[in-house]
Structure 1
Amino acid sequence: MTITQETVMKPEERSFYYQLFCHYYRGDLLQLTRKQWKQVVQIIKEYQYTSLLDEVAQSLQVLEGVTERNIQTFEYDYNRLFVGPNKLLASPFESSYRNYEGNVLQQETLNVRNFYRYVGLQVANEGQIPDDHIQFELEFILHVLSQPTIEDHRQIYKMFLEKHLLQWGFKHCESILQNNQNPITHAMAVILKEFLQLEGGNKDVN
């Protein structure tokens, strides 16, 4: 790691990364052009805390230099990893990683739903997509972080990270890194993994 322990991630930087990954798992980045990927990289580089990491810096170089071929095959790889229709090679659901059978819609899903309901949130069209999809978990954290002055929400952020996202996020990233066939999905997995590593080491809301 090329980063010093004294460096603290700023609230706006933490929120930016959660927003970035929310957009990614919603599929909002699937149609980006080469020029737009370069713009994304430039924005990421403005947040020095994470971009100082060697692996992240290498992944940013990859995203900055994506080819038309990379972009054309990105959606196919994204779907085979996260969407289907075949067996998901990097399931985006927490329960896939946290019960013996690897099934979705398990107790883990209900536990996540209870966190959402505690702060008055509910997944849109509840029941169609399990609540423990990584997109929803990221959106939940982003919502809680948007209200840092509420002491209860600061504690919920820490608890949710420890009890949920950090319990399976690394396994999810490793599944991507083992099964991806596209430099974009690979680079985004590296950036997410390194971000989660930092979150695991520093869960204070400034």
Structure 2
Amino acid sequence: MTIKQESVMKHEERLLFYQMFCHYYRGDLLQLTREQWKQLVQIIKEQQNTSLIDEVAQSLKMLEELKENTIQTLEHDYNRLFVGPNKLLASPFESSYRNYEGNVLQQETLNVRNFYRYVGLQVANEGQVPDDHIQFELEIMLHVLSQPTTENLQIYKMFLDKHLLQWGFKHCERILQNSQNPITYAMAVILKEFLQMEKRMEGGNKHVN
């Protein structure tokens, strides 16, 4: 990996990546056309840090050169990894990675729910989807960063340190191991490198597994 240790994301760049991954894990990108993927790649390329990372550059090239059949099979692979109905190959739930049995709806889920409530937030239709789904964890990050007060930036660092960085890398590795589609693979590479940059931020967890 080629990345400068001193590289720091701008606030707007950080917001863009959180927003993109929120849309991805909500399933909003499943119906993008080839042209729309190219447009998304162009937006990512305009961010200052992406040009420093070889793996991301290769993944962006994959997304730029998508074949029609790759787009057509994206939803199948996305469901294999994150939705079901069979065993999830890259579970999107924090609890799957942080308890011995790898079960969902455990104490880790309640810890995340309590954190949301601590900052005055609640998952819509609470109870239908576990609170520790990566979509919701990304959304809380986007929410507090969208209003960058001193208190919200402290919340952001705390949640990043105690939750997202504690399992996000393992989640990405499972995607990379089980992906059968260039889009899911490329998005996992981009997410992994984005989390690496987040980890480098001042106050990030220096003992993440």
TM-score of the alignment, normalized to the shorter chain, above 0.5: yes
Distance 1:93 1:85 in 2: 15
Map of 1:43 onto structure 2:
43
Q: CA RMSD in A?
A: 1.3
Map of 1:198 onto structure 2:
197
Q: Verify the 8 A CA contact 1:50 1:195 in the aligned structure 2.
A: no
Map of 1:183 onto structure 2:
182
Distance 1:59 1:203 in 2: 27
Map of 1:159 onto structure 2:
158
Deviation at residue 52 of structure 1 after TM alignment: 2.3
Map of 2:12 onto structure 1:
12
Q: Verify the 8 A CA contact 2:4 2:52 in the aligned structure 1.
A: no
Q: Deviations over 1:18-67 (max 9, x none)?
A: 00000000000000111110000001011121342100000000000010
Say whether residues 1:85 and 2:85 are aligned partners. yes
Deviation at residue 144 of structure 1 after TM alignment: 0.9
Distance 2:146 2:33 in 1: 30
* TM-aligned CA distance change 1:112 to 1:203, over 3 Å: farther
TM-score, normalised to structure 1, is 0.96
Deviation at residue 8 of structure 1 after TM alignment: 1.9
Structure 1 counterpart of 2:179, one-letter code? N
Structure 2: where are the runs of 5+ without partners?
A: 204-209
Secondary structure class of the residue paired with 2:168? helix
Identity %: 81
Distance 1:166 1:5 in 2: 18
Structure 2 counterpart of 1:59, one-letter code? S
Deviation at residue 94 of structure 1 after TM alignment: 0.2
Q: How does 1:21-60 map to 2 (within 5 A)?
A: 21-60=21-60
Distance 1:114 1:70 in 2: 40
Q: Verify the 8 A CA contact 1:44 1:51 in the aligned structure 2.
A: no
Say whether residues 1:63 and 2:40 are aligned partners. no
Map of 1:139 onto structure 2:
139
Structure 2 counterpart of 1:80, one-letter code? R
Deviation at residue 156 of structure 1 after TM alignment: 1.2
Q: Verify the 8 A CA contact 1:90 1:172 in the aligned structure 2.
A: yes
Distance 2:102 2:38 in 1: 37
TM-score, normalised to structure 2, is 0.94
Distance 1:69 1:120 in 2: 44
Q: Verify the 8 A CA contact 2:172 2:191 in the aligned structure 1.
A: yes
Structure 1: where are the runs of 5+ without partners?
A: none
Q: Deviations over 1:101-120 (max 9, x none)?
A: 11111111111111111121
Q: Verify the 8 A CA contact 1:96 1:102 in the aligned structure 2.
A: yes
* TM-aligned CA distance change 1:51 to 1:115, over 3 Å: farther
Deviation at residue 203 of structure 1 after TM alignment: 4.5
Structure 2 counterpart of 1:12, one-letter code? E
Deviation at residue 147 of structure 1 after TM alignment: 1.6
Aligned residues: 204
Distance 1:203 1:188 in 2: 25
